[in-house]
Amino acid sequence: MTDNAPRIHPTAVIDPAARLADDVQVGAFTLIGPDVEIGAGTVVGPHCSIHGPTRIGRDNRFVGHAAIGGEPQDKKFAGERTELVIGDRNVFREFTTMNRGTAGGGGVTHIGSDNLFMAYTHVAHDCHVGNNTIFGNAATLGGHVWVENFATISAFSGVHQFCRVGRNAFIGGYSVVTKDALPYAQTVGNRARIYGLNTIGLIRRGFSEDTLSKRKRAYRYLLVSRLNTSRAIREIEQDRTLACPEVDYLVDFIRGSQRGVMLRRPTRRAEEMVADE
């Protein structure tokens, strides 16, 4: 073995049709099937299985026992060629599962870059995950879910099929999300409710006080004004003091919803319980 050859444990089983960059590391008892492509700098830990068609970018880390690129858990799947595409610099902790797409859902499950998937997370068929997201332990996406950049889905939370999770959204632990989770907001509970703006997360990401203030006022129209959603959206659009790209994105997100958006507020007792934690 040359210095440039992949560093592969002797107990690993790698199909000759798999394509691994020269410096890829593969741990003990890992299985890599045909039609798998793994980019430079990636480390695949022990007891992982990666099935194709799957394309994996650079500098990813699969800690151990991850099951990547398996067939979709969908009764309509009939063995058609579909794929899983993974970007760069993602971390997949123990027992993470990622399924390929289905023909009916576009044929591709797509994972962006710089994401953290903690232990036992599951991403189902035809999901699209953006960049810089965090999935807590055992967080689960049903099929066809879209998760946008910088979203956080906390431990043991589930997102229903065909839902969207907006940019910079925060889903609290043990939540059940059955409608689109609004960007910039804290969505918590079973069934999930809105607990206001994800202020701490937004401050950490460097958003200005002026931008935060505009988003807070926009959410007052949606959650406090007692207007229905259509009227609240019109009020936001007509209030020129709220004009900024982030509020425009919020309005577009709501208008583009197919399942409806999460706009239920918690009871006062629930608010007090969260505040006490």
- Residue 125 is a catalytic residue: yes
- Residue 79 is a catalytic residue: no
Region of poorest pLDDT, from 143-147, 236-240, 251-255, 260-264: 260-264
Q: State pTM to two decimals.
A: 0.92
- Residue 9 is a catalytic residue: no
> Which H helix or E strand runs over 158?
strand 158-159
The confidence score (pLDDT) of residue 277 equals 31
Q: Which of 110, 125, 128, 144 is catalytic?
A: 125
Pick from 61, 69, 10: nearest CA to 36: 69
Three-state DSSP string of 125-152: CCCEECCCCEECCCCEECCCCEECCCCE
**Can you read off the two tokens belonging to residue 60?**
């990813």
Domains in the chain, CATH or no CATH each: 7-203 (2.160.10.10), 208-276 (1.20.1180.10)
Q: Which of 143, 158, 166, 189 is catalytic?
A: 143
Q: Mention every residue, 6+ apart, whose C-beta is less than 8 A from residue 220.
A: none
Is residue 144 within 8 A of residue 119, CB to CB? The reply is no
Is residue 101 within 8 A of residue 122, CB to CB? The reply is no
Three-state DSSP state, 274: helix
Given pLDDT bands bounded at 50, 70 and 90, which one contains residue 224?
Answer: confident
Buried b (16+ CB within 10 A) or exposed e, 128-157: bbbbbbbbbbbbbbbbbbbbbbbbbbbbeb
Tokens 């055992």 sit on residue = 138
pLDDT, one tens digit per residue, over 46-55 is: 999 999 999 9
Three-state DSSP state, 4: coil
Q: What is the mean pLDDT of residues 57-74?
A: 97
The confidence score (pLDDT) of residue 264 equals 78
Given pLDDT bands bounded at 50, 70 and 90, which one contains residue 263?
Answer: confident
pLDDT, one tens digit per residue, over 155-188 is: 999 999 999 999 999 999 999 999 999 999 999 9
pLDDT, one tens digit per residue, over 67-121 is: 999 999 999 999 999 999 999 999 999 999 999 999 999 999 999 999 999 999 9
Q: Which of 74, 88, 126, 180 is catalytic?
A: 126
